[in-house]
Every structure is written in C-alpha cells, then in structure tokens.
Structure 1
Amino acid sequence: MTTKYTKDDIIEKAREIAKMIANTEEVDFFKRAEAQINENQSVREKIASLKSLQKQAVNFQHLGKEKALKLIEGKIEAIEAEIDDLPIVQEFKQSQGDVNSLLQMVANSISNNVTNQIIEATDGDLLRGETGSQVRNSTPGSCS
C-alpha cells in the first residue's frame, strides 16, 4: 500500500527543499553579488539617476512632449548600458541566472518524476510516455 500525502505534507517538504536551495553555492554567490552592488557608490548613483530619468519620462509621456521624451529615453538607455557593462552587475546577472536555472531544474525534476510515477502506477509505458489506460486502449501496432 502506498502512503497518501496531504497538501500540508507536500508544503512541508517544499519548505525543506527551499531551505536546501537557499543554502547552495549559487544562492551564496547571488547574495554576495547583490551586497556588492548595494555597497557600490557608483552603481547606487547610476541607479538613482536612472530612477529620476524614468520619472521624467513618465511625466513627459503624460504631457505628450515627444521630443523631450525621446531625449530622456536616450539618456535612460545610456545609463542602463553603463550599469550593464559593470563587471559587478554582470556577475550579479550571472548569479541570478544560475539561481533561476537551479529552480527550473528542481521544478522540471518534480514534474517529470510525478509524470513517471503516474505512468508506472497505471502500468503504463515510460518510453512512450503513456499511462496504462492509454496503453490498454491503443490498437496493437499503432504508433501514436
């Protein structure tokens, strides 16, 4: 007899997995990179300028001042490029990608394993990805 789990059981396991993920090298690197960005005066000044320009852009857009808006948008793009070119920011974005990849890998692993468990529990065909009811109801020799 297989054990039946409740949603609460699953949420508790998810919390355990979250704690494990939060204590990986990828997340440690992400936290360090974020702290370095927050401590970097140059980055903070560029971000403050960016926010100010973005507010101006919203105001110009609201007032219908297209020429001024285009000028501000150019300045915004230039500052965004300056920020993106900083090695510290590139490291941060890389670490963000690494953490997201780890989360995606965990999500895919759970999804694939649930699917496989269902196929196996119904005496299905893992290679074809079909549950037992699909296998029983397919005609012999058909390739679906």
Structure 2
Amino acid sequence: MTKFRSSLLALAAGAALFAGNAGAATTSSSFTVSIQVQNNCTVAVGNIDFGTVNDLSAVHTASSTATVTCSGNGGWDVAFSAGDSSNQAARSMDGAVAYNLYTAAVAGSVLGDGNGGTVKPTGNGSGSFTVYARTVAGQPMVNGTYSDSITATLTY
C-alpha cells in the first residue's frame, strides 16, 4: 500500500504542476541592443631640424614624418598652423629665418589649413606622409639658434 500511496502522491504532484499554469497570464517586454562605434585617431609629427648651417644664401632642406593612427577607416585631414609668424605662406623662425613647410622636397604646395593657397594632407584609416621644410635663399646671416612652433591639427 505504501508503494501505491507514493505513486499516487507523485502523480498528484505532477498533475498539480500542469494544472497550475492553466489559468496563468503572460506578459512580454521588448528591449534594444545597441553599440556606438566611433573612429579614434591620433597624429604625431617628428621635429624638423635643419642642423647647423654656415650661411643662408642657399636653400636648406629638412623633413620629418607625420603619422596618423586611426582605429577605423574613416577619412581625415591634417591642418598645420602658421606658427609664430601668423602667416602660413611666409613662416619664420623667431621672426628672423624665413622657411616654410611643403608637400614635396621640391616645388611642393605649402602645408597649412587649406586657406590662402595652402593645402591639408588627407587620407583614410591609418597612414603617414612626409613634411618637407625649406629655408628661403638669400637671407642675411645672423648667428643664433632659431625655432618655430607649429601645431598639427587632425580632423576626423
């Protein structure tokens, strides 16, 4: 009889589980899954050093590499400030040694912000380009150390 009672009890418990859902109500809720993916970029330009020169009658050249590193493949451009001279078309180091930045070693376009005849390098994703610097020939020579501070601004 005990075996019969145990089986009957198990059967009743199982039936109660199914019977409990017969009158149950349901509800649901929707939700959104999202992500915002944003390109992240940095720019780095190495210093440009003309070294030591003995006269400024000739053109002196120097260069550096600008590197743009991006997490995605979006477009970018790099603008170059006028430096301390406030004139992108006629930069000078400490107002004494005239020079400029160019897209090529010879006959390149002046690097700037895209205004006043200057150009901005452009690209997609990560990349690098060369920044060329040239002094202006025929300048008076005054002993000293001269410098200028240029800001490269990356827009992406």
Given the two structures, how large is their TM-score scaled by the length of structure 1?
Answer: 0.19
More helix by share: 1
Larger radius of gyration: 2
